[in-house]
Amino acid sequence: MRKYLINVVMLIFSHIYFNAWNLCTPATITAMNRVFTKKLLIGTLAAAVLVGAALSFPAILVSNIQHERERALSAMQEQFPVTVNPADKIIIEDERVNAFLESRSSPLQAAAGSVGDIFRDIFTWVAVTIADASWYQSIASADGRLVNITPGMRKEQVANEFAKVLSWNNKQKKEFLTDADSQLPLQEGSFSPGVYLITKNTAPSEAQALVNERFYEDILSHYGTTIAKIVPLKQALTVASLIEREAGGADDRRLISGIIWNRLFINMNLQIDATLQYVKANSVAGTNWWPKPVPADRFRKSPYNTYLNKGLPPTPIASPSVASVLAALNPKNTSCLFYFHDASGGFHCADTYKEHVALLKKYYGRGK
C-alpha cells in the first residue's frame, strides 16, 4: 500500500509542479507579476504536501492498529485490579490502583489506548473515511478495509458499521449478530470498540470471529476467576456500559461508577437516562439508536427502565471501552448519589437531592 501511495503523491506533485512551471514562461510573466507566480508555486506545493499527507493517513492508522494490538497482547496475562465488593457493599480505594490507572505507562492503559483523546478520534475518523472512499481504493489498489467501532455503540450499530463497509444485506447482518454454535443472539456489550482491519470479502462469520478475538484480548484475558467471584463479568460489563453512555470524558468515569455503586448498595433506583434511550430505540422505528428521552419515557414498561425498576438492567446496553470496564471495577469512593453535566460539559455531583436541585438551579436556572 505504501508503494502505491508514494507513486500517487509523486504523480500529483509532478503534475502540479510542471503546470505551475509552464506559467513561468516569458509570455505568462508579462501578464502577471513575479510575486503572484511565487505565491502560486508555494500554494501548489503546499497543496501537494497536504494531499500526500492525507493519502498516507490510512497507512499510518493501520500501522498504529498493529502496534496497539501488539501492546495489548503483551499485557494479556495481567489481571484487572478490582476495588469494589458488591457483596459487602464497599469500595476500598487503593492509592496503588489509582496510580496504576492514571499512569500512561501502564500496560493495561496501553491496551485500552488513548480513550477520550479528541485528536486521536478525529485522526481515526479521517483515516477511516479516506480508506473507505472508492477513489482511494482505486488509486491505492487496496484490498483492505477499516471498520471503526466507537465505544458506547449498540450491537445493531456495530453490525451496521460492518455492513456499510462490506455492503452486507439484512440477512448477513443478522448472521453477524447470531452465535454460530448456539444460534442465539450475541449478548450486548461483547463487541470490543476499536478499528478493525478486514478485507473487502470478509464474511459475517469471519467478522464475528475477529470481534470475539478482540473481546478476549481486551477483556476476557484480564478477567480471571478471582475477579469474577467478586464482580461477575456480566455485572461489570453492564455497569461499564452505563458509564460509557453517561460519562462526559475520561475524568468522570470512576466518579460516575462510584455513584452507580452507591445507589446499588442502598437499593436506590439508578434513574439513568441512557437506559431510557435504550428502551425508546427498541420500541421506536428509525435510524437513531440513542433518541433524546422526554419525561414521559420514564414510564415506559421495560426491564431496562431504571426509573421504574431497581438494580441493574438485565444486560449491558452498549459496548464499553476497556477504560469503562476498569472504572466499573475501580470506582471512586464518593458520598455522592446524584450527578449531572452542565452545558459546557462540567461534571457536578451531590450527596442529597436538595443539593442536587440547588446545583441544577445554579447552572440551568431550574431544578429537574
- State which amino acid sits at residue 84: V
The residue with cell 434513574 is 271
Q: What SS3 state is found at 87? A: coil
Q: 172-227: per-residue pLDDT in tens? A: 999 999 987 767 777 899 999 988 988 888 999 999 999 999 999 889 998 989 99
The DSSP H or E segment spanning 20 is helix 2-22
Question: Which of 133, 342, 360, 213 shows the shortest CA–CA distance to 350?
Answer: 360
Exposed, middle or buried, 70 (CB in 10 Å: 0-12/13-18/19+)?
Answer: exposed
The residue with cell 483523546 is 117
* pLDDT classification of 303: cutoffs 50, 70, 90: very high
DSSP string across 35-57: HHHHHHHHHHHHHHHHHHHHHHH
- State which amino acid sits at residue 283: S
Question: Which of 181, 132, 156, 151 shows the shortest CA–CA distance to 282?
Answer: 156
Q: What SS3 state is found at 31? A: coil
Q: How far apart are CA 205 and CA 191, in angstroms?
A: 14
Kindly state the average pLDDT of the residues 5-19.
Answer: 45
Given a contact cutoff of 8 angstroms between Cβ atoms, the answer to whether 80 and 147 are in contact is: no
Q: How far apart are CA 24 and CA 16, in angstroms?
A: 13
Q: What SS3 state is found at 149? A: strand
Question: Which of 187, 129, 190, 126 shows the shortest CA–CA distance to 161?
Answer: 129
The pLDDT value given to residue 69: 58
End-to-end CA distance of the chain: 55
Q: How far apart are CA 201 and CA 208, in angstroms?
A: 14
Question: Which residues in 98-130 are b (16+ Cβ under 10 Å) and which e?
Answer: eebbeeeebbbbbbbbebbeeeeeeebeebbeb
Query: How much is the pTM?
Result: 0.76
292 pLDDT higher than 70? yes
* Torsions phi, psi for 338 (to 5 deg): -130, 150
| Grid cell locating 285 | 422505528
Mean pLDDT, all residues of the chain: 78
The pLDDT value given to residue 359: 92
CA atoms within 13 A on the CB side of 217: 20
Q: 26-80: per-residue pLDDT in tens? A: 555 455 555 555 565 566 655 555 555 555 555 565 556 555 556 555 555 678 8
Given a contact cutoff of 8 angstroms between Cβ atoms, the answer to whether 348 and 359 are in contact is: yes
The pLDDT value given to residue 144: 74
Q: How far apart are CA 213 and CA 69, in angstroms?
A: 11
- Angle at which helices 155-166 and 204-218 cross, to 10°: 130
Domain limits of the chain?
2-56, 115-218, 226-364
| Grid cell locating 234 | 456480566
Max CA separation in the chain (angstroms): 88
Q: 98-146: per-residue pLDDT in tens? A: 777 766 555 455 444 444 455 556 655 565 665 566 555 555 545 678 8
Q: Calculate what percentage of the chain has a pLDDT beyond 90.
A: 49
Given a contact cutoff of 8 angstroms between Cβ atoms, the answer to whether 155 and 316 are in contact is: no
The DSSP H or E segment spanning 197 is strand 194-199
